[in-house]
Structure 1
Amino acid sequence: MARQANPIALRLPRPTWDGSPIRPTLATIDLDALAWNFRQLKAYARAEVLAVVKADAYGHGAVPCARRLEREGAGFLGVALTEEGLELRGAGVETPILVLGGAYGDRFDLLVGHDLTPVVFRPEHLEGLAAAARALGREAVAHLKLDTGMGRIGVQPEDLPAFLDAAKSHGVVLEGLATHFANADLADSALTARQIERATAAATLMRERGLGPRWLHLANSAATVAKPDAHGSLVRPGIMLYGEMPSPRFSGEISLRPVLRWTTAITHLKTVPEGTPISYGSRWTAPRPSVIATLPVGYADGYPRALTNTGEVLVGGRRTKIVGSVCMDQMMVDVTEVPGAAVGDEVVLLGCQGGENIGAGELAAHTGTIHYEIFCGIGPRVPRRFVGG
């Protein structure tokens, strides 16, 4: 039988909650480190810097990161979606914003009315943007996206003359020409060289037609480091802003600081005898009397289940193994070799503790993915705490 509500208790005031974290799992975002990385890139590049803050700034928190990058003098901010740009405008960000994924649907009025510049690559983009600009009494401004070899979005080089004619007839000002490299993180990529040639030829054609783009941008993070000849007038670093190189081969090329540190704490501790199974499926069994710590974090927070029995965390400055299946909300680690481990001790999932460090690349290597996905996968259930400005 269901428990009946107490009518007296219903009239009593309930404790209030200010939204501050209760569970000891959070991601700490160092905005000073973000600013440091931006300044390193700005000094390194031969062009203006467009700071990519799409996908919630790669999981780091788009609004606080964008505000700090604006203070540091970013020439542009890059988002993937109109909605992401609107979020930044709603938070008071005034820096020019480029919508790198182009427009979806027919809400070009939102782009024009909120000073969001889209990339264009389909005839309907030109039509919709021009119509919205006329209705709002504004100028239709866009960057042309050229597909030089990525095979994703963009005008095909052979279709460029007709697209330029259409842009001119609709009165759309193409202030930029953009393309995206497919293999810039690979050494001696022949495709990257061809992509540079195609983009250069397109820029020449635009100039010959009196449509010379003010902004020519090709370089992502990898090309910003590896291809100075591809810097154009604007570079678009993403992962490097957040303290990671796009590929291990770039290690040492530029001094970066990690921006995100993901931590939790031990919430339960027990000693189990040899032969004790741990977690779903009994995929790990204690090979000796063991001290097992439970952590309040799991795959619902973005910690990959694929790290079952392979991943490591830091406890007391030491690497400790994840044992048993990573659960939705919790996981277990073997702290037998960590002297004095106790409930409440900090546990580092990503970042430094003592002389040890676990980077996103390490987690990615264990799970068959890339560090971009590790960052972006840290879910909204993990509170972000911003430090350093």
Structure 2
Amino acid sequence: MDEKGTRAWARIDLGALQANVVALKAKAPTAAFMAVVKADAYGHGMLPCAQAAVEAGATWLGVATPDEALALRRAGVTARLLCWLWTPGGPWRECVDADVDVTVSAQWALTEVMAAARAAGRPARVQLKIDAGLGRNGAQPEQWPELTAAARAAERAGLIRVTGVWAHFSCADDPGHPSIARELAVFRTALEQAADAGLAPEVRHMANSPGTLTLPESHFDLVRPGVAMYGISPVPDVGGPADFGLRPVMTLAARLASVKRVPGGHGVSYGHTYLTPGETTLALVPLGYADGVPRHASSTGPVLVAGKWRTVAGRVAMDQFVVDLGGDTAEAGDEAVLFGPGDGGEPTAEDWARAAGTIAYEIVTRIGGRVPRVYTGGQRSC
């Protein structure tokens, strides 16, 4: 797609994504690599990013929902694929038929996947998840022996094959947090209990992005980088992307829709929370909260316009926001860059996260479908 004449776009550098995969693999050289592409690859585009990650050496892909997994299979992606967020009545049979590894965290899920395997006439690939302390999905430690025994019985019956055992950290983004050692201990005990039940999974895994970067003891057989693969530091208080050999993949930009002179005391946007301090030039950026620009960044969000950092003037509206250029000039059609790698002087997603009181994960993931993705660099074979 040609950016010329386009209102706004998110430029996705697949070459940077592939370089990030290589850098992250080097952090865990003995572990397999799962590229997490859930949530439309954190807003970057699930299929192009999945293809680029596999080309760069990822041997697994990870998604949250069954619909995401099935969409990848329909697109022809054949890499090993784990899906972990299930509700009763989900499309177990379809995922069994599509060779998707499905996560089981409770007896009800094991019962449903066993029924799907019977209907499919083939064993289901199952990964068992333990709640090591996060308090979300996963079997509680006291339920784990019963679940592993039931899974082994289903294996002996030819209904499933347990391909993995896994868990997820709660505070790995806070290096040194006491929960990290506790949760690793719970996971190691769960692995011993799974072995005692007779299970021999292909992969044991716990390391997310911060685990991959800062906890080598958590690497086990496979690591699951998510946000780090897209060039965002999961531990910004420890180091930025460049400190870990990573480069942000997404650049969000738009063309100015209006540039005009206004007098001092002129109200700007809803509620007139910003009044011009004197005669000035206002520039209109045609992106708003319907596109994923956080309304919480009203009066704080940074933007590169006419070669300088500006700040959102007043409230972010549904489709647009304003910046005050002061004595500088610009023209309609000039580029405004909300965030990118930062090496061109533009803000980063982390800058927007701090302005909005959130995390950079949310900044990139929330960029909506009204903003076309423009892919550059990389190789994209299935």
Could you state the TM-score of these two structures normalised by the residue count of structure 2?
A: 0.93
For the Cα contact (< 8 Å) 1:317–1:354, is it kept in 2? no
Superposed, 1:241-252 pairs within 5 Å as: 241-251=229-239
TM superposition shift of 1:134: 2.1
CA distance in 2, matches of 1:352, 1:231: 28
Cα deviation, residue 150, structure 1: 0.3
Equivalent residue number for residue 23 of structure 2: 40
> For residues 235-384 of structure 1, what are the structure 2 equivalents within 5 Å?
235-251=223-239, 253-338=243-328, 340-351=329-340, 355-384=344-373
Query: Is the Cα contact below 8 Å between 1:23 and 1:296 reproduced in 2?
Result: no
Name the CA distance, whole Å, in 1 between partners of 2:174 and 2:342.
32
> Are the counterparts in 2 of residues 99 and 116 from structure 1 also a CA contact under 8 Å?
yes
Which residue of 129, 140, 164 corresponds with 2:124? Answer: 140
CA distance in 2, matches of 1:104, 1:34: 35
- Asked if 1:59 corresponds to 2:49, the answer is no
Distance in 1 of aligned mates of 2:36 and 2:343: 31
Match of 2:11 in 1: 28
Q: Distance in 1 between matches of 2:188 and 2:131?
A: 13
Provide the rounded CA distance (Å) in 2 between the counterparts of 1:385 and 1:365.
Answer: 26
SS in 2 for 1:115: coil
Q: Answer yes or no: is the 8 Å Cα contact 1:143–1:175 preserved in 2.
A: yes
Question: In the superposition, relative to structure 1, how do residues 342 and 94 fare at CA in structure 2: closer, same or farther (>3 Å)?
Answer: same
Percent of aligned pairs with the same residue? Answer: 41
Give the length in aligned residue pairs. Answer: 371
AA paired with 2:107? P
Q: State the partner residue of 2:91.
A: 107
Give the SS at the match of 2:287. coil
Conservation of the 8 A alpha-carbon contact between 1:310 and 1:321: yes
Instruction: Please give the alpha-carbon distance, in whole angstroms, between the structure 1 residues aligned to 2:86 and 2:97.
Output: 16
Q: Which residue matches 1:194? A: 182
Cα deviation digits, residues 256-296 of structure 1 (max 9, x gap): 01100000011111101111111111111110110001111
What is the Cα deviation at residue 317 of structure 1?
2.2
Bigger Cα displacement from structure 2, 340-349 vs 204-213 = 204-213
- Partner in structure 2 of residue 207 of structure 1: 195
The CA distance in 2 between the partners of 1:268 and 1:106, in whole Å, is: 48
Mapped partners of 2:362, 2:59: distance in 1: 26
Give me the whole-angstrom Cα distance separating, in 2, the residues matched to 1:271 and 1:382: 28
**Which structure has the greater CA radius of gyration?**
1
SS in 1 for 2:259: strand
SS in 1 for 2:220: coil
Task: Give 5+ residue unaligned stretches, structure 1.
Answer: 1-17
Give per-residue Cα distances to partners, 1:88-121, cap 9 Å, x unaligned: 1111111011002245424211110111111101
Query: What TM-score comes out, normalization by structure 1 length?
Result: 0.91
Which residue type is aligned with residue 368 of structure 2? Answer: G
Letter in 1 for 2:276: A
Contact 2:11–2:376 at 8 Å: present in 1 too? yes
* Cα separation, 1, equivalents of 2:341 and 2:4: 22
| In structure 2, distance between residues paired with 1:123 and 1:22 | 55
Check 1:144–1:354 CA distance in 2 against 1; reply closer, same or farther (3 A cut): closer
**C-alpha contact (below 8 Å) 1:309/1:323 kept by paired residues:** yes
* Aligned alpha-carbon RMSD (Å): 1.8
- Whether 1:71 and 2:61 are equivalent positions in the alignment is no
Distance 2:347 2:53 in 1: 26
Partners of 2:114 and 2:315 in 1: CA distance: 54
Equivalent residue runs for 1:100-179 within 5 Å = 100-171=84-155, 172-179=160-167
Instruction: Give the 3 Å change call, closer, same or farther, for CA 168–210 of structure 1 in structure 2.
Output: closer
Give the conservation status (yes or no) of the 8 Å contact 1:203–1:212: no
Note closer, same or farther for the CA distance 1:175–1:354 as it changes in structure 2 (3 Å cut).
closer
Q: Distance in 2 between matches of 1:209 and 1:307?
A: 52
Counterpart Cα distance in 1 of 2:153 and 2:200: 16
- Tell me how far apart the structure 1 counterparts of residues 248 and 114 of structure 2 sit (CA, whole Å): 42
Distance 1:243 1:156, change over 3 A: same
Structure with more relative contact order (C-alpha pairs < 8 Å, separation 6 or more): 2
CA contact (8 A) 2:254 2:287 kept: yes
Distance 1:31 1:19, change over 3 A: closer
Residues 1:48 and 1:354: Cα distance change in structure 2 (over 3 Å): closer
Q: Which amino acid aligns with 2:291?
A: D
**Distance verdict in 2 for CA 1:276–1:20, change over 3 Å:** closer
What SS is found at the alignment partner of 2:358?
coil
Residues 224, 151 of structure 1: alpha-carbon distance in 2 compared, 3 angstrom cutoff: same
In 2: Cα distance, 1:157 partner to 1:229 partner: 21
